[in-house]
Amino acid sequence: MKIVKIEAIPFAIPYVKPLRFASGEVHTAEHVLVKIHTDDGVVGVGEAPPRPFTYGETQAGIVAVIETVFAPQLIGLTLLDRERAQQRLQRTVGNPAAKSAIDIALWDALGRTLNQSVTALLGGYTDRLRVSHMLGFEEPAKMVAEAERMIETHGIRTFKVKVGRQPYTLDTVVVRTLRERFGNEIELYVDGNRGWSATEALQAMREMSDLGLSFAEELCPADDILGRRWLVDHLDIPFVADESVTTPAEVTREILGGSATALSIKCARTGFTQSQRVHHLAEGLGLEVIMGNQIDGQLGTMCTAAFGAAFSLTSRRAAELSNFLDMSDDLLTDPLEIHDGDLVVRQGAGLSVEIDESKLTHYRLDQ
């Protein structure tokens, strides 16, 4: 169970349909595959999606910090030295995706070693999650057509609509059109990625107050401290903190400061170990939770599903598990599928996924 080698492999896979949102757009999955090798031949995997405009990490930066800072501190520990590994990762500030991919690969390796699924090791609550699909910025007709396709092809009935544009009516018209087209057949919530001011956000939310939205996510920046508190105070639906909660401490700060009333948990950002801590905090504070998507590939999506299915609180709401559908290809030998609105969590050892080495050779950027 001793860690003997850690690889950080950059790869790039284009999207068929780019995702556009208030803080950026993604055309190519420029991710990093992490492989952790143990002395008994087990290999655990994790996937880091850099989000330069959100957390400041880049693909090259993730490779560098893993190779030069994290790997030397972890080699020699065993897979059971989990708290020691966390302490060594977390003493470095920031770098959430790099740390998370390592943490996930450690859990995958542990699951493979013990011949248990990660979801069973974490909590083993259920075997599937309902899926929520993210609708990025497009013409209203295209966003409605995409929702239609998701309902027909995958049975998905929960949609997170990206908002945060100026003027805000560009977004409110889309949400209204979706509600009018599908009625109560669908669940809708919105995510602003910090695009609006607190005032714009409240005006937009008032204009949509008859549309039965379930949540409002990160509509304005958390650093607009008083404005955001004022906004959250005036809303009558939960306000989800997403990119403002990259650590359990930030969760405490946002929630106790009155700047959010619900949480998005992203394994791409808090791995499994820190996501557990965020989950326990949410449970203790009585907060609603959504399993979010950091525009993950299939490996990252499987991690979110494995974690979400492990607990009652994280499996209550539809989880954001469908961004991979817009990628032109992926690295797994056995692709994920969404049927009847659900994604089933595999119960094999670890994350129960295998990397297709010929695809990795094709898409990797370092050879």
Which residues are catalytically annotated? 162, 191, 217, 242, 266, 294
Q: Counting beta carbons within 10 angstroms of the beta carbon of residue 183, is it exposed (0 to 12), middle (13 to 18) or buried (19 or more)? A: exposed
- Judged by beta carbon distances under 5 to 8 A according to partner kind, the member of Mg ion, ligand MUC, none in contact with residue 21 is ligand MUC
CB 364 within 8 A of CB 34: no
Does 238 participate in binding ligand MUC (rule CB under 6 A)?
A: no
Q: Binding to ligand MUC by residue 51, rule CB under 6 A?
A: yes
Residue 54 interacts, among Mg ion, ligand MUC, none and using kind-specific CB cut-offs from 5 to 8 Å, with ligand MUC
Residue 90 to residue 113: CA distance in whole angstroms: 25
CB of 161 closer than 8 Å to CB of 188: yes
Q: List the strands of the sheet with 3-21, edge to edge.
A: 3-21, 24-38, 43-48
Distance CA 157, CA 147 (A): 8
Residue with tokens 């669908």: 186
**Which of 6-14, 73-81, 151-159, 184-192 is the region at the interface with Mg ion (rule: CB under 5 A)?**
184-192
Indicate which of Mg ion, ligand MUC, none lies near residue 270 (CB less than 5 to 8 Å, by partner kind).
none
Q: How far is the CB of 205 from ligand MUC (least distance, A)?
A: 17
By the 8 A CB rule, do 174 and 140 touch?
Answer: yes
CB of 196 to ligand MUC, least distance (A): 14
In degrees, rounded to 5, the angle at the alpha carbon of residue 120 between the alpha carbons of residues 292 and 343 is 45
Least CB distance from residue 22 to ligand MUC, whole Å?
9
At 112, the amino acid letter reads R
**Per-residue binder mask for Mg ion (CB under 5 A), 191-230, x = binder:** x-------------------------x-------------
* Interatomic CA distance for residues 295 and 30, integer angstroms: 11
Contact status: 242 vs Mg ion (CB under 5 A): yes
Q: Which is nearer to Mg ion, 111 or 297 (CB)?
A: 297
- Smallest separation, CB 32 to ligand MUC (Å): 15
Give the dihedral sign, CA 335/26/201/287: positive
**Among 261, 276, 294, 322, which residue sits at the site for ligand MUC (rule: CB under 6 A)?**
294
CB nearer to Mg ion: pick between 74 and 260: 260
Say which entry of ligand MUC, Mg ion, none residue 295 contacts (CB below 5 to 8 A, set by partner kind). ligand MUC
Question: In which region does residue 354 sit, left (phi positive, over 0), alpha (psi from -120 to 50) or beta (all else)?
Answer: beta
Q: Minimum Å distance from CB 65 to ligand MUC?
A: 18
Q: Which is closer to Mg ion, CB of 114 or CB of 237?
A: 237
Give the residues lining the site for ligand MUC (CB under 6 A).
21, 51, 54, 191, 193, 242, 292-295
